[in-house]
Structure 1
Amino acid sequence: MGLIKSTAAPARDGLNTRTKCRDCEGLQLQLDDERPEVRRLAARDLGERGDCPAAAPALLQRLAHEPRMDVREALLHALVQLKAPEAAAGLVDCLRQGDTALRNQAIEALRQWPDEALPLMRQLLADDDAHLRIHAVRVLEGLGLPEVAGLLARALVSETHVNVCASLLESLSQIGDAQAVEAIEAARRRFDDQPYIDFAARAALQRCTSVTTP
């Protein structure tokens, strides 16, 4: 008599273990699972539960050394959903990392969190590291808040690093605000020996002067 084959579907990559440990603590442990899919789903669930704010440190710790882009996206999305202050601070720390992809992902995540990101980016605009100031400008540009244009214009008045000035001008060109015209013209005069600054300033002026101040 031949063996009867089981008709039960095999467990997909062992993911059936998730049904046993889906509380906050169990999901945090799964963030270090060797299977990327388990890590991704654990991060997703921690964000969607809405009752695991204490998971932020575990998500940030995983994010620091997570090699998979899809898992990183789930981790970042969960951090934004948690709305925990330490989550926002942790995303800012990602801007200091040498991993370009992680920095770009952190910028996009912070842009989804305007109220928390704005004060943090104000601080970064005064950071000694010019690269961090540029990252702050990129985040601010995407926040969609009315006060951003004025904040960038004020930063442009005192900024001395040519690359940061270029980033500020590019962002002001994207946002467009008539109140930034004076700061743009001053930057253009201050860097009159830099062809790109002249080009970026002209583009920003064209955009800002076409906007009618309410």
Structure 2
Amino acid sequence: MALKKSSSSSVQSTPEEVKDCNQIRSDLLSDDPAERRWAARDIVNCPGATLMLLDQLEDETDLTVRQIILSSLTRLGDAEAVEGLVACLRSEDASLRNEAIEAMKHLPKEVAPIMATVLNDPDPDVRIFAVNILESLCHDDVEQWLISVIQDDEHINVCATAVDLLGEVGSEASIDALTALKQRFDEEPYIQFAADLAMKRISED
């Protein structure tokens, strides 16, 4: 039987639980990385955990603490967590971007509703990162999202990233879009090569 979330009207935090959560919040801001690690793990059952974790993620300098924060955000998997992970795609910190991408790959149902928006972000780098998320995202719409990218995106690097992935996950449904992409970028050698390779792999499957 599926578990249901308890309503706030039927379950209230005991004074001990409130005290524990207050201590965990305090520990998350500690100067001691070990205390922050434990707090980042334990805070998931506390009210407002997602926002606290996201706030700490912006300032966290210890890589092990950051990894646990991202793991906890993945466990929470709510809309605020997904939105915060998307924001990480804009970070100047390449390591944080990559960690956020990996975290989002584990949230296919939660990421799916916002994927079309991220794939249409004004920043081409963010769009490329979104395609990277699709690489391991277990969702039925992955191929269609990639087809939409190569049909509509004007940036060659975004399209090239999508074509490379279509070579791995694409089916006959991608052939027309790949053919059209070759025509649209008919003077771009890499697009010609990658699209031909993708179609060859698809035809061999």
| TM-score between the two structures when normalised by the length of structure 2 | 0.86
Residue 43 of structure 2 is aligned to residue 46 of structure 1: yes
Q: Structure 1: which amino acid aligns with 2:38?
A: L
Query: CA contact under 8 A between 1:121 and 1:140: conserved in structure 2?
Result: no
Find the counterpart in structure 2 of residue 142 from structure 1. Answer: 136
Query: CA contact under 8 A between 1:188 and 1:198: conserved in structure 2?
Result: yes
Q: Structure 2: which amino acid aligns with 1:203?
A: L
Provide the C-alpha distance between the structure 1 equivalents of 2:177 and 2:47, rounded to a whole number of angstroms.
42
Find the counterpart in structure 2 of residue 104 from structure 1. Answer: 98
Tell me the CA shift for residue 208 of structure 1: 2.1
Provide the C-alpha distance between the structure 1 equivalents of 2:38 and 2:202, rounded to a whole number of angstroms.
45
The runs of 5 or more residues in structure 1 that have no matched partner are 1-20
Count of aligned pairs between the two proteins: 189
Q: Structure 2 vs 1, CA of residues 203 and 25 (structure 1 numbering), >3 Å: closer, same or farther?
A: farther
Find the counterpart in structure 2 of residue 34 from structure 1. Answer: 31
* Aligned pairs for 1:1-214 within 5 A: 23-47=20-44, 51-52=45-46, 54-211=48-205
Provide the C-alpha distance between the structure 2 equivalents of 1:43 and 1:126, rounded to a whole number of angstroms.
32
Secondary structure of the equivalent of 2:48? Answer: helix
**Which one has the largest radius of gyration?**
1
The share of aligned pairs that are identical, in percent, is 39
Deviation per CA, 1:60-111: give whole Å up to 9, x if none.
0111111121111100000111122111100100001111100000000000
Provide the C-alpha distance between the structure 1 equivalents of 2:136 and 2:108, rounded to a whole number of angstroms.
9
Provide the C-alpha distance between the structure 2 equivalents of 1:52 and 1:190, rounded to a whole number of angstroms.
52
Tell me the CA shift for residue 142 of structure 1: 1.5
Give the alignment's Cα RMSD to 1 decimal: 1.8
